[in-house]
């Protein structure tokens, strides 16, 4: 797979990464460990070099899974993980105190079976800790060789600038897709100005843009989409128009809706690296096929025009989850 550089950081990764959260957390029952390891090994063999995890996924289970699965390939892959919550549990609130950041780094190194974290993200901005202190702590970890690059997740322009002034930010990870384009107004221009890469999570709209979900879909009890307003039955029915139009465009291209959604993201900027996640081998292979699809300027204009009059219904987060997005 062709590689991309995340901004001007020097961090080079595969054009598409792998978002690993769903293997352990968030989308229903965890995948059986042997199946998850088989999938991660296949991703490496298909050219994926960029794997995304966090202490909060589980908590801790996902990092342990990656540590075991990627140990044979450690020198070939880039592993990103995150700090920022009390005890690794988002429900307990933010904690990006310097002491906590160091604790997370040391624990993650053990779980990931490595001597360095390639990319260390602040999972959410902590309103109680100055960004300069957060960036300064990661800067010290980089100087000590325990971390290679610094990242932020769901941070706003002010937070990004404050952090970048202390320790260059290699990448911002935030939601971005055909059904959540908010980063285009302020975030993307700021990243381009500062030379920071962008890593869109939920690039397939938490599965909705694949076309595999409709108003009749039932999610398992511990699937977080049950709490997301955008995934209410009423909103899924209303948002079907977006997927139907995407499906028509994909059919014209001989591709799947997921592939067009990912190819669209890749076409926005050369320093954008989406991290779709999946628990299924055929979906992983389908996603990676998006890297081969070249959308022309005409194609992109057609997609934008086709979707311009479709208003997506429902908030992307529950009220409780939205409170954690303090930019």
pTM (2 decimals)? 0.97
The Cα 179–Cα 98 span in angstroms is 36
Residues 148-182 pLDDT 10s = 999 999 999 999 999 999 999 999 999 999 999 99
Q: How far apart are the first and last CA of the chain?
A: 34
The Cα 137–Cα 241 span in angstroms is 46
The CATH-assigned architecture of domain 3-204+269-293 is Alpha-Beta Barrel (3.20)
The Cα 133–Cα 100 span in angstroms is 12
The Cα 72–Cα 114 span in angstroms is 11
Residues 273-293 pLDDT 10s = 999 999 999 999 999 999 999
Q: Which value, to the nearest 10 degrees, does the dihedral of the CA atoms of residues 259, 173, 93, 135 take?
A: 170
Question: In the prediction, which pLDDT does 150 show?
Answer: 98
The Cα 61–Cα 65 span in angstroms is 6
The Cα 23–Cα 85 span in angstroms is 20
Neighbours of 165 (CB within 10 A): 13
Question: In the prediction, which pLDDT does 178 show?
Answer: 96
Question: In the prediction, which pLDDT does 139 show?
Answer: 98
Assigned token pair, 99: 């002491």
Residues 188-219 pLDDT 10s = 999 999 999 999 999 999 999 999 999 999 99
So where are the chain's domains?
Answer: 3-204+269-293
Active site residues: 57
Question: In the prediction, which pLDDT does 232 show?
Answer: 96
Q: Residue 8 in 3-state DSSP?
A: coil
Cis peptide before 19 (omega within 30 of 0): no
Question: In the prediction, which pLDDT does 322 show?
Answer: 86
Which residues does the chain have with pLDDT short of 50? none
Question: In the prediction, which pLDDT does 285 show?
Answer: 98
């Amino acid at each position: 797979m062709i590689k991309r550089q995340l901004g001007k950081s020097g961090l080079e990764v595969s054009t598409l990464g792998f978002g690993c959260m769903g293997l352990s957390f968030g989308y229903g029952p965890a995948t059986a460990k042997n199946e998850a390891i088989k999938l991660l090994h296949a991703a490496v063999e298909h050219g994926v070099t960029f794997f995304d995890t966090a202490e909060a996924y589980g908590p801790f289970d996902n990092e342990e899974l990656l540590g075991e699965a990627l140990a044979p390939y450690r020198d070939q892959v880039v592993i990103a993980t995150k700090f920022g919550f009390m005890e690794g549990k988002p429900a307990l609130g933010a904690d990006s105190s310097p002491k906590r950041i160091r604790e997370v780094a040391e624990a993650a190194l053990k779980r990931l079976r490595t001597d360095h974290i390639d990319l260390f993200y602040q999972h959410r901005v902590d309103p109680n800790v100055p960004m300069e202190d957060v960036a300064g702590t990661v800067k010290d970890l980089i100087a000590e060789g325990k971390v290679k690059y610094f990242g932020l997740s769901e941070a706003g322009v002010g937070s990004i600038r404050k952090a970048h002034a202390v320790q260059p930010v290699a990448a911002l990870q935030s939601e971005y897709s055909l059904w959540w384009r908010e980063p285009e107004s302020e975030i993307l221009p700021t990243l381009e100005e500062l030379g920071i890469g962008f890593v869109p999570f939920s690039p397939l709209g938490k599965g909705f843009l694949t076309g595999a979900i409709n108003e009749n879909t039932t999610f398992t009890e511990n699937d977080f989409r049950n709490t997301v307003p955008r995934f209410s039955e009423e909103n899924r029915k209303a948002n079907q128009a977006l997927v139907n139009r995407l499906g028509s465009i994909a059919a014209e291209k001989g591709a799947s809706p997921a592939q067009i959604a990912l190819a669209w993201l890749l076409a926005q900027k050369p320093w954008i690296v989406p991290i779709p996640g999946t628990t299924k081998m055929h979906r992983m292979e389908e996603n990676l096929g998006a890297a081969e699809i070249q959308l022309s300027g005409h194609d992109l204009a057609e997609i934008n025009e086709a979707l311009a009059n479709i208003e997506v219904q429902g908030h992307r987060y529950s009220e409780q989850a939205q409170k954690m997005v303090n930019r």
